[in-house]
Amino acid sequence: MHRQVASLLSTSSPGRLAKLGSALGARRIDIATTGGAEWKHHGPVTLTIKNDWGAGPDDQIRGFAEVMAEGEFPWLVFRTIEVELKDEPGALGSAATALGDINVYAVTILETDGTNALIGLGVRPSQVGEAITRLKSHNARLRRHPNDPEGDGWWDEWDDRTERLIPDFDNPKVRPNDRRFYQLIRPSDQEGVRRR
């Protein structure tokens, strides 16, 4: 299962996209898709990393985390549910409606051929199962990667990080660029994280 990163790119721009893009390039981290906007110089951008499986020799999540720490770019990574939709008015709204009170933290069109579109909806790891259930109950067609583990076997330390940080992320008293959103995780950070 792929991931979708939300990164707080522009607390002051211009130049931040260049800084991030150059830093990722220097580490040979390849961005598969990106999209985002800023509003009054507050600009989260979502992106997907080509090799984001969290394990194996080609994995780039750790390198990405190091780049973000060095650049002090706040970021969270969500799990991407890939939904195949007819490329027609209202399709995205219908899929989002099916999710009900499950928040979509990031959204990207991953592929489109003019007839169908593959949409990536970024949800928190602990809500992936429920999100899939709800989407399927609305007859949504979901894409599953052949190598995806069964159940929640995909869960890893980066999912723990997201779940640990979400309470801060939702806390209006926590600054958007709080260092916890970019500093590297240590094993001790994960103690006590509730996965469900």
Partner 1 sequence: MHKQVSALLSAGGSPGKLAAFGIALGGSELDIKKIGGAEWLNDGPVTLILREDGEDKRRAFEGVCARLQLPWLSFPIVAVELADVQGSLGAMAAVLGNNDINIYSVLLLEPTETMAVVGLGIRPSKVEDALRALRTAQPNHYTATVLQHGDDPNDGAEWDARTEDLLPRWEDPNASKDDPAFWQVPGQGA
Binding site for partner 1 (CB under 8 A): 4, 6-8, 13-15, 17-46, 74, 87-97, 99-109, 112, 122, 169-170, 172, 174, 176
Please say whether the dihedral angle defined by the alpha carbons of residues 65, 70, 71 and 72, taken in this order, is positive or negative: positive
The secondary structure of residue 154, as a DSSP letter, is T
Residue 47 burial (CB count, 10 A) = 25
Minimal distance, residue 124 CB to partner 1, in Å: 11
Q: Would you say 26 or 147 has its CB closer to partner 1? A: 26
* Contact (Cβ atoms closer than 8 angstroms) between residue 76 and residue 167: no
Q: Would you say 39 or 196 has its CB closer to partner 1? A: 39
Minimal distance, residue 187 CB to partner 1, in Å: 26
Minimal distance, residue 99 CB to partner 1, in Å: 7
84: β partners: 118, 141
Q: Would you say 118 or 187 has its CB closer to partner 1? A: 118
Minimal distance, residue 39 CB to partner 1, in Å: 4
Q: Would you say 33 or 152 has its CB closer to partner 1? A: 33
With a CB cutoff of 8 Å and minimum separation 6, the contacts of 22 are none
Closest CA to 119 of 127, 131, 130: 131
